[in-house]
Structure 1
Amino acid sequence: MLALVGVTAGLVVALGSSSGHADEAAPASSAPTSAAPTAAVTGTPSAAPSGSATSTVKGQVSQGSHTGDLRFFLLAPPKDAEVYGDEAGSPLTAAEIASTASDEAEMKRALSEYGFKGAAFRTYLTAGGGAEVTVKLSRFADPASAAGYYNAHYYEGTKLTLTGGYPARAYHLKSASSESTDSMLAISYQGDVHITVTVTGGRTVEPKLLQSLLDAQYQHLKTGR
């Protein structure tokens, strides 16, 4: 077992893996700049904000294989949310993901083992500043590789119960600093894409919010809609 330390949405947490791979941290937030089907599906997310940059992002899904721009599959933020950075989402390279781990070389090796192809994330602040949400997707060689990556990783925190009916784990992660708040984090996978959803709130955040976000993200990856 290898225990590492990573940063998730401003929160320092301990990460580890029974297989010796450290689970990567979610991307750190940046300052806001503005408020299994058998047929291929393409288009734009139905929940995307009107006029959003996401309208130019395209992707397809067929039998669990996701092609095109991975940002297309990011769960769209609420219309009244304040998106950090690019509204369409931002890509992540293997080097950028590895740089968030204590053992950078080990993280690179783990990503390579499962055939990492690319990643993307988007962070937004809900209306009224109630919660900060980060959704990150990582695409691997095939569905079996994404499942292997999911099974090999876990976070050290209080486990939360999920009711989605698909493979998923969730944790309550305590803040190690008085200057930051606790977070809830869920991981899952759909097809060849691994999912990480993190919710950090200034107020008490209900687990049902994490569940609803994960459900919506899973379905968007499954159907492309």
Structure 2
Amino acid sequence: MDILKEILANNTSLTPSMQIVFFMTFLMFLPTVVMMMTSFVRIIITFSFIKSALGAQQSIPNQILVGLALCMTIFIMSPVISDINKNSIQPYMNEEISDEEAYVQLKKPIAEFLLKHTRQEDLELFVTNSSIDAENIPKEELPLNIIVPAFAISELKTAFQIGFIIYVPFLVIDLIVSSTLMSMGMFMLPPAMISLPFKLLLFVMVDGWNLLVKSLIESFVG
């Protein structure tokens, strides 16, 4: 987005056809950029872990998980969206602020959200390997091309930590079932087929979906 700002600020050097090509290219990558700047990354990876841990890859359609992840993302990001609409979009449409001020107001809530969930080590990784003098720049004023990838790898680590916690109880069930089948001499019977009902029973008894969704939401808004 910072690169977009610089190019648009110098759009006098671009012909109309070049501006259209650049705009269409930006729109093509916009969904990916938006997903990397929201809670979607952590949610969808966690859902993939629970699907794999249950061993129900064919029973839970990916479309359902992606749809639920998008709904949760909209719910979690609603305060940020409201802030952007109130302080950036509406004033700009009413011609109360300039393009530059609209961009500043747009970036502010996004940067606050990203930095809140970004580990300091990940942020320092990209700051150190950039040409920016971060000593004289507050974290909130860092460009998004540094904040976004730092946020992304922080989310990946958090999602993998959640995935490990999810896997442990189901792994215990798999080990118990496998040991029981081996002790009974039933080597030809797939353990996964026997353990699946027990894992589903455990997940239903603890109200797994409610617990999982509640934990994910509270990890962002808590």
* TM value normalised by structure 1: 0.26
Q: Over alpha carbons, which structure has the higher Rg? A: 2
**Structure number having the greater helix percentage:** 2
* TM value normalised by structure 2: 0.26
